Structure 1
Amino acid sequence: MNRLSIVLAAVAGILAGALGYSLVTQPKPETDAVAVRAIVEQVLDEHAVMAAAAVPPVEEAPETAAIDPAILNPMIEQYLMSDPKVLQRVSAALETALRSEEEERTRTAMASFHDRIFNAPDQIVLGNPDGDVTLVEFFDYNCGYCRAALPDMAALLEEDPNLKVVLKEFPILSNESIDAARVGVLVGQADADYWDFHSALFTSRGKVDKAVALSAAETLGLSSADLEARMNAPDVAETIQSSYEIAQALGITGTPTYIIGNEIIPGAIGADELRSRIANMRECGKSQCS
């Protein structure tokens, strides 16, 4: 290993700590260290050469020779202090590289879970089952943002006859949410208007729990006693578990979260933004056209 490589490796280590970059979502920290080093080599070519030139000439050392950190680290610190903007450039390059890696992981996960996201036999489908664009929503019945976004979904379903909407029960806020989701799965299996049930829960007052969900189902002509007896059935649990597994694979942690094409959209972005992405899917096959 030449001295330039040693300097770059040490700089990479210092930068990784100095940037304070959160790697909570990165499952393999060792991969990020390699990425940091590659970025340093790419964006600091001239600076790295200068740093290497600053090292006093010495005889070639064996591959296994150790370099005293007490000597090397002050040199690297002096080099960085001479041009603090190095950190800014590396930070931007690192963020770009990690974002690219995250996008690639998402694409891979989307391909692996495609059928479970868009075509699962137990999923709730609203709108046109054969629509040319599919909008998926992960929701929790006790999510205030989901409640606020209900009119957005209603407007899209009303105005767009070629839109397919897939609703994924994703109860993450409370045990009451889980109970309501279990009832929701059963209502989805029944010959009933799920949108009426869905709207009733999101327009109810207070916390949505089992009693609220069973009452809403009963207004659709379903037996609350029968639904309560089947709430813990294995197929109900499997449907909800599938949503958890998809969410984990895609990094979905909140509600509402939408999926259009290969784009994961966290948060209630509003009807206009959803319309724009739907229109893009029809125009170029992607949620964001270049």
Structure 2
Amino acid sequence: MQKAINLGLAAAVALLGAGLAYSIATRPEPGLSQAEIEDLLARAPAQPAAQSEAIDTAAIGPVIEDYLLANPRLLERMSVELETQIRAEEGERARIALAALEDEIYNDPANIVLGNPEGDVTLVEMFDYNCGYCRQVVADVMSLVEEDPNLRVILKEFPILSQNSVDAARIAILVGRADVDYQDFHTALFSARGQVDTQAALAAAESLGLSRVSLELEMTAPDVSDALQRTYTIAQALGISGTPTFIIGDEVIPGALPKADLVRRIEAMRECGATVCADTGQNG
């Protein structure tokens, strides 16, 4: 995004300079006296009539410099406006993609659902067991489940950091199908020291009474691979490339969002059906 902003600013500055050089004689900018206008015109070398429409970069440079020095806040306003427009465009693209993927996101049979399955607000987290930022937010997400009786949390295995992450996710998908408490498995893996791999996942599953041998035999089954691929497909469509990533309402939120920000978005969803309520100015 920053690259796009920088390019946009450069283009805007060039257009600004061209506009000033072309129209300064007939449409003076507010705040410039007649003497200042005449001085600017005198500093620009005369051009032949046949080239009156051409832009002389040597003449534009000083004009741009003088104007921006006199109006230093202009670039700041341009930067803010450009970033606002880019974020609005990205948000609109995300909303369209989320609407198209609603069934895949919320009704996938591999989803792990915590909290109230019939909750009035759903928070989706895509995570990797070897993600340090995911480890940071796990306690907050679990506390939301405990504190909010009307919240549904969907956990989606999104292993992207290593083969160990993929192997652990395969075991986790099988644990999610079993009649055990997935939340215990989930928190145990995020509490483990070192890399979370096949052995760590098998040990956590075994502590819940599941068969290590059966899990090892089933972890590479096609349906397990398909479950992971469906999540990768969703991530690609939404432009998600990191963990954790949260989805709530019509918003995709990358990064380790503080609990207070998650709570504000959940409350806004209940109030107005969006993560930001325009009438209250509530935002994250």
Distance across 2 between alignment mates of 1:184 and 1:192: 11
Partner of 1:228: 216
1:264 to 252, 265, 277: 252
Secondary structure, in 3 states, of the residue corresponding to 2:3? coil
1:128 corresponds to: 116
Give the alignment partner of residue 280 of structure 1, picking from 260, 264, 268. 268
Match of 2:197 among 203, 209, 216: 209
Matched-pair contact (CA < 8 Å) for 1:40–1:90: no
- Tell me: CA distance 1:58–1:114, structure 2 relative to 1, closer, same or farther (3 Å): farther
User: 1:22: which partner in 2?
Assistant: 3
Cα deviation code 1:213-235 (max 9, x no counterpart): 01111122221111111111222
Give me the whole-angstrom Cα distance separating, in 1, the residues matched to 2:58 and 2:80.
Answer: 24
Instruction: Kindly state the Cα deviation for residue 72 of structure 1 after the two structures are TM-superposed.
Output: 2.7
Query: How big is the shift at 1:136?
Result: 0.4
Partner of 1:52: 22
**Given that residues 91 and 251 in structure 2 are in contact (C-alpha distance below 8 angstroms), is that contact kept between their aligned partners in structure 1?**
no
User: Relative to 1, partners in 2 of residues 1:57 and 1:72: Cα closer, same or farther, differing over 3 Å?
Assistant: closer
Residue 268 of structure 1: CA displacement? Answer: 2.3
> Could you say which residue in structure 2 is the equivalent of 1:6?
none
Task: Report if aligned partners of 1:155, 1:271 keep a CA contact under 8 Å in 2.
Answer: no
Q: What aligned pairs does 1:133-152 form with structure 2 within 5 A after superposition? A: 133-152=121-140
What's the CA shift for 1:151?
1.5
Q: Give the aligned CA root-mean-square deviation in angstroms.
A: 2.8
Q: Is the 8 A contact 1:124 1:167 kept in 2?
A: yes
Preserved CA contact (<8 Å) 2:18 2:60? no
Whether 2:51 is the aligned partner of 1:81: answer no
Q: State the 1:255 CA deviation.
A: 1.7
For residues 220-253 of structure 1, the C-alpha deviation after alignment (integer angstroms, 9 at most, x for no partner) is: 2221111111111222112112222222222222
Q: Which runs of 5+ in 1 are unaligned?
A: 1-19, 27-31
Instruction: Label 1:94 to 1:58 Cα distance change in 2 as closer, same or farther (>3 A).
Output: farther
Q: Mean Cα displacement is larger for which, 182-191 or 93-102?
A: 93-102
Q: Which moved more, 1:219-228 or 1:90-99?
A: 90-99
Secondary structure, in 3 states, of the residue corresponding to 1:167? strand
TM-superposed CA distance for 1:191, in Å, is: 2.2
Secondary structure in 1 aligned to 2:78?
helix
Aligned residue identity for 1:240: L
Deviation, structure 1 residue 204:
1.6
SS in 1 for 2:95: helix
Moved more, 218-227 or 133-142: 218-227
Aligned to 1:9: none
- What secondary structure, in the 3-state scheme, does the structure 2 residue paired with 1:83 have? helix
Q: Are 2:155 and 1:171 aligned?
A: no
| Aligned counterpart in structure 2 of residue 255 of structure 1, from 222, 235, 243 | 243
Partner of 1:8: none
- C-alpha distance 117-22 of structure 1, shift in aligned 2 (>3 A): same
Counterpart among 112, 119, 125 of residue 107 in structure 2: 119
1:36–1:285 CA distance, 2 compared to 1 (3 A): farther
TM-score, normalisation: structure 1: 0.77
SS of 2:90's equivalent?
A: helix
Name which of structure 1's ranges 225-234 and 79-88 shifts more when overlaid on structure 2. Answer: 79-88
CA contact (8 A) 1:141 1:208 kept: yes
Question: What secondary structure sits across from 1:252 in the alignment?
Answer: coil
Alpha-carbon separation, structure 1, partners of 2:107 and 2:60: 55
Distance 1:265 1:128 in 2: 22
Identity of aligned pairs, percent? 52
Assess, with a 3 A threshold, how the Cα gap between structure 1 residues 284 and 233 changes in structure 2: closer, same or farther: same
Indicate yes or no: 2:98 matched with 1:110: yes
Q: 2-side partners of 1:97 and 1:79: how far apart?
A: 28
Distance 1:220 1:288, change over 3 A: same
Number of equivalent positions: 252
Q: What is the DSSP-based 3-state SS (H/G/I as helix, E as strand, rest coil) of the residue aligned with 1:281?
A: helix
Q: What's the CA shift string for 1:75-100, capped at 9, x where partnerless?
A: 33233212224544433332222222
2:112–2:154 Cα contact (<8 Å) kept: yes
Distance 1:114 1:103 in 2: 16
